């Protein structure tokens, strides 16, 4: 019995699916099993994101790949950006996908048709945009870039709201990640060995955490509890209201690259390929449930939100046809054309293979995906 599915991106340009499940219907023993891997990108994966139907991945190859995770197939390629696509985010209502890039732009696409609806071509004064995160309400988003500013975007009116200059915080580093709390009361900004948490209501700093190692992989366990990994393989948890550390534990000897909370579980991924699921217990230390070694360098993580839905859908209508047209936006150049690719994922647990063996094969696509002749 499957519980949830995690999507991972790797430096070796693989997109990987991992199922967290019971070993059998009668057993209470849990395990992690690789469900698929895909090698459609030609360079390292930078970001993955999921809606209730789609999964998207971006890469340093400047493309965004779209997958229908209900039908388990690749359906579309977006070729909008002229630089590394640094982050991807769906709006909470899943009507739009927002991407950021090293080319200095932020683009908004309509989900399903994947037509571009809005483009800010110089979102951070033309410098690289590192990351964007949408508020849980869907009304605003925050972005950070190499211009060392935090910019607020009004998603209702589709325009920038205001800018906060953070250049005084560091002469050598810039913010490259934004993490919202579940209710949107707080947002966290990691900056090398610091983690700065802001309160939206007061517009001030709620808590500043500083450790001796570089901070990686940040997630909120609760509205007031934040968890992050470090360069030396440790996990840390802090209470924002009490302004104190709740627990700390060593989970490996290499950096904790990314974290994600799924229901009452915490999933950690070390940069060397070790993926572990932990059982959360309020403010106590989590307990290890099971782990899996992928033998690849993990770069990003997301949860497949369509996984539960897909189990209840047996038959759907014929393969979706995506109509690709160009929208002309005043003041910007016409977006590039996209490519339509149809590739079906064969779901068979006996066909799962190790990433290492797949990397030895000099093919564009992994054997888990088949390419149609259409």
Same domain, yes or no: 97 and 215: no
% of the chain beyond a pLDDT of 70: 81
Which of 296, 314, 332 corresponds to the end of one domain? Answer: 314
Same domain, yes or no: 189 and 302: yes
Query: How far from chain centre, in Å, is Cα 77?
Result: 18
The answer as to whether 368 is a domain residue is no
Please state the pTM of the whole predicted model: 0.84
Looking at residue 264, its pLDDT comes to 94
- Give the closest residue to 236 by CA, choosing from 204, 198, 274, 194: 194
Average pLDDT over residues 15-30: 91
Same domain, yes or no: 270 and 292: yes
Sequence-distant (≥ 6) Cβ neighbours of residue 104 within 8 angstroms: 83, 121, 122, 123, 124, 125, 126, 127, 128, 129, 145
Same domain, yes or no: 64 and 126: yes
Looking at residue 257, its pLDDT comes to 95
Which of 123, 148, 175 corresponds to the end of one domain? Answer: 175
Same domain, yes or no: 169 and 192: no
Looking at residue 334, its pLDDT comes to 38
The answer as to whether 66 is a domain residue is yes
CATH of the domain at 86: 2.130.10.10
Same domain, yes or no: 93 and 211: no
Same domain, yes or no: 305 and 213: yes
Same domain, yes or no: 141 and 65: yes
What's the domain count of the chain? 2
For residue 305, the tally of other CB atoms under 10 A from its CB is 22
Span of 267-271, 288-292, 349-353 with lowest mean pLDDT: 349-353
Give 65-113 pLDDT, tens digit per residue: 999 999 999 999 999 999 999 999 999 999 999 999 999 999 999 999 9
Same domain, yes or no: 164 and 230: no
The answer as to whether 234 is a domain residue is yes
Give 143-152 pLDDT, tens digit per residue: 999 999 999 9
Looking at residue 173, its pLDDT comes to 72
Give 188-216 pLDDT, tens digit per residue: 999 999 999 999 999 899 999 999 999 99
- Give the closest residue to 52 by CA, choosing from 95, 101, 115, 19: 95
How far is it, in rounded angstroms, from Cα 111 to Cα 102? 22
Same domain, yes or no: 105 and 132: yes
- Residue 347 corresponds to which tokens in the numbers above? 């779901």
In which element (H, E) is residue 357 found? Answer: helix 355-360
How far is it, in rounded angstroms, from Cα 74 to Cα 240? 41
Q: Which residues constitute the domain of residue 234?
A: 185-314
The answer as to whether 9 is a domain residue is no
Same domain, yes or no: 211 and 135: no
Same domain, yes or no: 116 and 204: no
Looking at residue 168, its pLDDT comes to 77
Decide if pLDDT at 319 tops 80. Answer: no
């Amino acid at each position: 019995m499957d519980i949830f599915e995690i999507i991972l991106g790797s430096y070796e340009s693989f997109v990987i699916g991992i199922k967290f499940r019971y070993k059998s219907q009668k057993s209470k023993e849990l395990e992690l099993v690789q469900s698929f891997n895909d090698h459609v990108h030609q360079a390292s994966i930078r970001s993955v994101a999921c809606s209730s139907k789609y999964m998207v991945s971006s890469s340093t190859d400047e493309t965004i790949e779209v997958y229908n995770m209900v039908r388990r197939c690749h359906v579309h390629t977006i070729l909008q950006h002229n630089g590394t696509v640094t982050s991807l985010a769906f709006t909470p209502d899943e009507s739009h996908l927002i991407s950021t890039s090293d080319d200095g732009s932020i683009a908004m696409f309509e989900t399903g048709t994947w037509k571009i609806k809005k483009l800010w071509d110089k979102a951070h004064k033309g410098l690289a945009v590192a990351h964007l995160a949408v508020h849980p309400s869907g009304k605003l988003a925050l972005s950070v870039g190499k211009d060392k500013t935090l910019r607020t975007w009004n998603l209702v009116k589709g325009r920038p709201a205001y800018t906060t200059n953070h250049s005084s915080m560091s002469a050598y580093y810039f913010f490259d990640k934004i993490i919202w709390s579940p209710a949107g009361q707080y947002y966290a900004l990691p900056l090398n060995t610091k983690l700065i948490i802001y309160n939206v209501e007061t517009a001030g700093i709620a808590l500043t955490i500083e450790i001796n190692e570089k901070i990686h992989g940040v997630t909120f366990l609760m509205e007031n509890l934040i968890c992050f990994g470090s360069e030396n393989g440790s996990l840390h948890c802090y209470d924002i209201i009490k302004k104190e550390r709740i627990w700390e534990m060593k989970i490996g000897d290499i950096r904790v690259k990314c974290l994600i909370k799924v229901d009452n579980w915490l999933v950690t991924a070390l940069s060397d390929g070790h993926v572990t699921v932990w059982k959360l217990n309020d403010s106590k230390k989590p307990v290890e449930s099971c782990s899996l070694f992928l033998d690849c360098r993990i770069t990003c993580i997301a949860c497949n939100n369509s996984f539960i839905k897909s189990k209840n859908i047996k038959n759907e209508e014929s393969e979706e046809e995506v109509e690709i047209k160009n929208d002309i936006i005043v003041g910007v150049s016409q977006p590039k054309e996209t490519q339509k690719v149809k590739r079906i994922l064969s779901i068979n647990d006996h066909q799962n293979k190790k990433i290492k063996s797949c990397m030895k094969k000099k093919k564009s696509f992994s054997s888990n995906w088949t390419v149609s002749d259409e």
